[in-house]
Chain A
Amino acid sequence: MHKITEKERMNEEMTRIEVEAPLVAKKIKPGQFIVIRMHEKGERIPLTLYKKDEEEGTIQMIFQKVGKSTHELDTYEEGDEILDVVGPMGTAAEIKDYGTVVCIGGGVGTPEVFPLAKALKEAGNEVIVVSGFRTKDLVICEPEIEQDACVDELHITTDDGSYGREGFTSHVLEELIESDKEIDLVHAVGPPIMMKVIADITEPHDIPTRVSLNSIMLDATGMCGSCRVEVGGDMKLACVDGPEFDAHEVNFEELMQRITMFEEKEEEALERWKEEHGGCCQ
């Protein structure tokens, strides 16, 4: 059992939780994730590390309410317990001095960018973060990235222009490239379509680009193949071979198809859950 030591609703869609998991806290690194199972009937869902406190033995994640499990997790309060917290999972991002790195976060991908940007900055890189949201109310992690991670530049975009730059993260990246900025690495985390667009932009410029894939996972220990993705023409398991891959090698069309596999069931589960909970937790 893992106690929730802090909970904060950051906005209508996103919630931050801090959970007791001393063994995970000791080992987890930027780019890695955990798997939680809330209770006996729960599914195993992957969430990425946002922050950790080794001394306190806690880790933090930020999640977006999308389906039944994340809606239910959002009803858990400080002091409640989560049945299983497993991790660290996946491989850690390679942190070294590349030169100039652009980290791009789309929506709930931004919390994953935070520890990454921080570690890259500490390793001596010039770090530029571009973070995109649909609208102003959904913007998160701005002070953390600016102040705690001390990045060199932070660009925030909103689709509707209600905050920061109007448009997509890819627009900012294009401008950076056009401005003849020397970029040694791009790291993108977000919706697959965003990652694909970023990959398409950087490829002709030969800018090494990494993405963190969000394929559907079951065990996340490499024994089911649910998370399989085509990378460089080979089949890879996102949970153990990734989740980070060379963006220019990833078959994004396949990924985008596969993550819709359980859509119908997911809607059914969410509908049922909302009915049972009287729509109180919208």
Chain B
Amino acid sequence: MSPEEERIKVPERSPEERVNDFHEVPLGYTPEQAMEEAQRCLECAKSPCIGGCPVEIDIPKFVKQIADGEFQEALETLKEFNCIPAITGRVCPQEEQCEEVCVMGNVGDPINIGKLERFVADYARENDLEETPEIEETKEERVAIVGSGPSGVTCAAMLAQNGYQVTIFEALHEPGGVLKYGIPEFRLPNDVIDHELEYLDELGVEMRMNRIVGQNIELKELKDEHDAIYVATGAGSPRFLGFEGEDLKGVYSANEFLTRINLMKAYKFPEYDTPITDMEKVGVIGAGNVAMDAARSALRMGAESHILYRRTTEWSPARDEEVEHAKQEGVQFDTLCNPKKFKGDEDGWLEEIVLYECELEEPGEDGRPSPTVLEDTEHSEEFDTAVIAIGQQPNKVFYENAEGVDVKEWGGIIIDEDTRMTTEEGVFAGGDAVSGAATVILAMGDGREAAKSIMEYLE
């Protein structure tokens, strides 16, 4: 590759250093590096990259602005499409989205769109570039948003920008959804999230924490006080494997493991009150982003950390960067390996995981090969901690108590594809609560579309 075909590398902290703390891993571009990377962009007339981005950011425009050193302008471009670029720049699966279709990818490395996005947002934050957003003429109509994850906040921001009176109701004591309780700080620092959320504050969005709709406040009450409602309750309910020994001590759902560590800061126990058990060897079952986060967190808690995965690493649904970072840090990938049982000692503590080897068959309809368990390969391996990271489903607290809102069998809220309205008049929904566990940017895209639908509905 000629130099122009190669990406400008993003400085990162060394694996040896970073496994000892929860600080962020990639350091981000300097202005010079960002400009140099941005100059590689071909400014393609058809710009396929835009189509690769679920919220259709005008990528060539903001990249050109970076190339010209116009960081303020680049920020404005980004914010037109995406109210939390510091977050998406860090967590989007870029290699499957904007960067996958980048024309530069045909001859060399695609433009590092994610890291450029992150650069602009970070630069703006660190240099106080941001201006108070302009709000269109204020309107009377009130909109309630249920859930403060990426989908809820995106919808809230867009409605508030258009002058609507917006209130967010959030079940937990902190806003941000998965961004806060799930994704660890070494990938997405809390101060970055908090700063992005300040934007909502500036827009006059009201935040009500500790409000669990369907539990301590009813949908009906929200309806009485608001003209429309957007439900973005996510897919936060853990799935379990349903096999023997799952109730042993030392066996966690990924949600519990990560919530203890991230939201409740168990890694700072006993300075913070919430505990997590000591761990020497952790087996994480699954290989998606959630599993990578759990496995890398386990390393930082001082444990030996294994990913137990039925397929091979190339089929991992996690972002490439996460798999890469996990490997560098020393997470061991035990692939073609299917856990079947947890075994415990007489006090009810996990002692061993019973495993089977697998073989991959030809790819099925979804393009992924299905694993077959090889029956005579049963063996056990010692683990004192297991984390189940096989997916999440929508939390029933909302939908079981939301009269008129119908859901699919697995709990996904049913919406009209065109209007984004649920089966209940004036109640809209989107994000993981509708799609099942997906991605930050898709949840945000839903939030934008829903905001448009709500505005049409309220006209």
Binding site for B on A (CB under 8 A): 23-24, 27, 37, 41-44, 68-69, 83-89, 218-219, 221-226, 228, 230, 235, 240, 254, 257-258, 260-262, 264-266, 268-269, 272
Contacts and interface: CB of A to CB of B under 8 A. Distances in A.
B238 A41 contact: no
Contacts of B240: 225, 228, 235
B275 A225 contact: no
Contacts of A85: 210
Interface residues of B, number: 41
B256 A224 contact: yes
A258 B350 CA distance: 11
Contacts of B260: 218
A68 B273 contact: yes
B249 interface: yes
> Lowest 9 A-B CB distances belong to which pairs?
A257-B348, A265-B275, A43-B273, A224-B256, A223-B236, A225-B253, A43-B274, A86-B210, A261-B249
Nearest to A224: B256
Nearest to B392: A223
A37 to B, nearest CB: 6
B171 A221 contact: yes
Chain B CB within 10 Å, residue with most, of A87, A223, A254:
A223
Interface string B266-290: 0001111111111000000000000
A137 to B, nearest CB: 29
B162 to A, nearest CB: 30
A218 B347 contact: no
B270 A268 contact: yes
Which of A68, A221, A235: most chain B Cβ within 10 A?
A221
Contact of A264 (B172, B210, B256, B278): B278
A264 B237 CA distance: 28
Given A24-B216, A84-B173, A226 B256 contact: yes
A163 B215 CA distance: 41
B264 interface: yes
A262 B395 CA distance: 26
A69 B274 CA distance: 10
B385 to A, nearest CB: 11
B273 A42 contact: yes
A257 B250 CA distance: 11
A269 B269 contact: yes
Contacts of A268: 270
